[in-house]
Every structure is written in structure tokens, then in C-alpha cells.
Amino acid sequence: MLLSRRLLWLAGCLLVILVGCAPRPPATDKEALQDYLETNDPLEPTNRKLYAVNEGFQDVVLRPLAVGYRHAVPEKVRDSVHNALANLTSPVMLGNEILQAKPRKAGNRLMRFIINSTLGVGGLFDVATSLGYPEETTDFGLTLATWGVGEGPFLFLPVIGPSDFRDGIGLGINAAMDPFTWLGQGSTVVYLELARYGMTAVDLYERNMDSLDSLKKSALDPYATLRSVYRQHRRSQVEDAKQDDPPTIPIWFPQPPQKTTQ
């Protein structure tokens, strides 16, 4: 009790030190003001500090782990680890597809989970993709977006990286929705959970390390570039989530022509 109160106090102090706001340009400077509104990053000074902390964490912890992982483990095995971790997120994604009112996608997800958990040996092999159920990802941030919630100001979260108010809330709810976090208590469960989160972080970083390196090498302001890339990518995901609603028609019924991008 005492410990948690102290922790709260410490967190409060940290927040006071960290929170700073970017000055809003005067209304007379219309173009600068428009830039400021488009960027929508009023917490920029705080976010930049968290970005610096995150960079340190990546350099000291994640990078050595990811580099070691890449050297020690063959690509095929790494793919299997990725598949197994992705398979564990299926229940949350299924929940989100139901909340987004996408019955066909939810059905596909269920099929993927069943096929990969059985034929794919506990998710190690992605058999479902070759059977016509390709991997797609979704989360509660996208669910909120399909309900009409705007992205809100930009946020840079330690360890997690670029985000925004909507996606930050989405992350919390996504974690709470995960049935694996409802499993009983006890040290074994805690260790398994920690191992899963740790492995997910290393897997994610290893897969994106090269792109991140090349972004940092070519950008004058890597923070601003990352912010722009995150925002654009997220908006395109939201657009896809809103538009992509495959029809639910029984297999024996005449099918409508498929929308193809080819």
C-alpha cells in the first residue's frame, strides 16, 4: 500500500517534470498556425523527452537482444516464433472484428485461429494463409476509429513508440481484452506473460530494425519523420478498416464479384 502510494507520488513528480507544451504560434502567422494544427502535437517537448528515453532503451536493451536473436536463431525459426506470437493475439483481434461489426473478417479470424492452433502446431506454422485465410491485423484503436473517434494529439510512449490519444487508450483496452491476461495468478503465469511480452518486443524490433535504421540515417529530424510516418500509416489503416467489409454470403449462394486491386 505504502509502496504503491510512493510509486504514485514518484510518477506524479515525473509527470510534472516531463509535461511541457509546444508554444502555439500567433493567429497572425496563418501558415505556421496551420502547420501546428496539422501536426497536432501540443505535447511535443514531453514527447521528445520520451523519444530520447526510448532511443536509449532501444540502444541498450532492445538492439543487443534483437541483434543476438537474429544471429543465433535461423530465419525460419524466427518466423515460427512470430507466427506463434501472432496466433496468441487472435482472440483479441476476433473481439475487435466483432466490435467493428465485420462478421466475415471475424469468421476468417476464427478459422485462422483453429487451423493454425491445430494443423499449424500451436501456431508455429501459418497454414491458414495458404488455405485462403491471410494474416490481417487490427486493434482496439482501429475499432474506436471505425466508431468515429478521432486520433487526437500525438503521443510518444516509452517502449511502445509512436501513438496518439485514441491509440493509447486502444492499447490499454486491447491488453485488458486479452483472455491470456485473465488466466489465474501465480509466479508461473506471471513469468509466462513476461516472456511473451518480452519476446513480442524483441520480435517486433528485429523485424523493423533495418527500416528504423535507414529512417534515422536519412532523416534530419527522426522524431518528426517517425511521427509523420506513424500518422500516415495509421490513417491509411483506418481508411482500410472502414472500407474493407467483405460480404457475408453462404458459400452455396451466388457470390458477388470480388473487389480486386490487381
Partner 1 sequence: MLCSRRLTFALAALWPWVAFEITAARAAQDSAASFVDNVAKELAAVIDSNDPPEVKHQRFLAIIENSVDVDGIARFCLGRFWRQASPQQQREYLALFRQLLLNAIIGRLQEYKGVKHTIGRTIHQTDNTLVQTVIVRPGQEPAHVDWVVADVDGKPKIEDLLVEGTSLRITQRSDYSSFLLHNNSNVQALIDKLRQMLANQQQQQAQKSG
Dist CA 116 CA 109 (whole Å): 10
1 counts as binding partner 1 under rule CB under 8 A: no
* Count of residues interacting with partner 1 (CB under 8 A): 23
Distance of alpha carbon 202 from the chain centroid: 14
C-alpha grid cell, residue 79: 518466423
212 counts as binding partner 1 under rule CB under 8 A: no
Among 31, 74, 184, 253, binds partner 1 (CB under 8 A): 31
- CA nearest to 141, candidates 106, 96, 90: 96
235 counts as binding partner 1 under rule CB under 8 A: yes
Among 137, 208, 236, 248, binds partner 1 (CB under 8 A): 236
- The least distance separating partner 1 from the CB of residue 251, rounded to whole angstroms, comes to 26
Secondary structure of 27-75 in HEC code, one letter for each residue: CCCHHHHHHHHHHCCCCHHHHHHHHHHHHHHHHHHHHHHHHHHHHHCCH
27 counts as binding partner 1 under rule CB under 8 A: no
Among 59, 213, 221, 244, binds partner 1 (CB under 8 A): 221
Shorter beta-carbon distance to partner 1: residue 27 or 31: 31
**Residue span binding partner 1 (CB under 8 A) among the ranges 93-101, 120-128, 159-167, 218-226:** 218-226
Element containing residue 215 per DSSP (H, E): helix 187-218
244 counts as binding partner 1 under rule CB under 8 A: no
Among 53, 117, 224, 245, binds partner 1 (CB under 8 A): 224
DSSP 122-165: TTTS-HHHHTT-------HHHHHHHTT----SEEEETTTEEEEH
Quote the crossing angle between the two packed helices 187-218 and 222-243, to the nearest 10°: 110
55 counts as binding partner 1 under rule CB under 8 A: no
213 counts as binding partner 1 under rule CB under 8 A: no
Question: Residue 120 to residues 5, 41, 204: CA-CA distances in angstroms?
Answer: 46, 43, 21
- The least distance separating partner 1 from the CB of residue 46, rounded to whole angstroms, comes to 16
258 counts as binding partner 1 under rule CB under 8 A: no
What are the two backbone dihedrals, phi and then psi, of residue 107, each rounded to the nearest 5 degrees?
-65, -45
Binding site for partner 1 (CB under 8 A): 31, 35, 39, 218-221, 223-225, 227-229, 232-233, 235-237, 239-240, 260-262
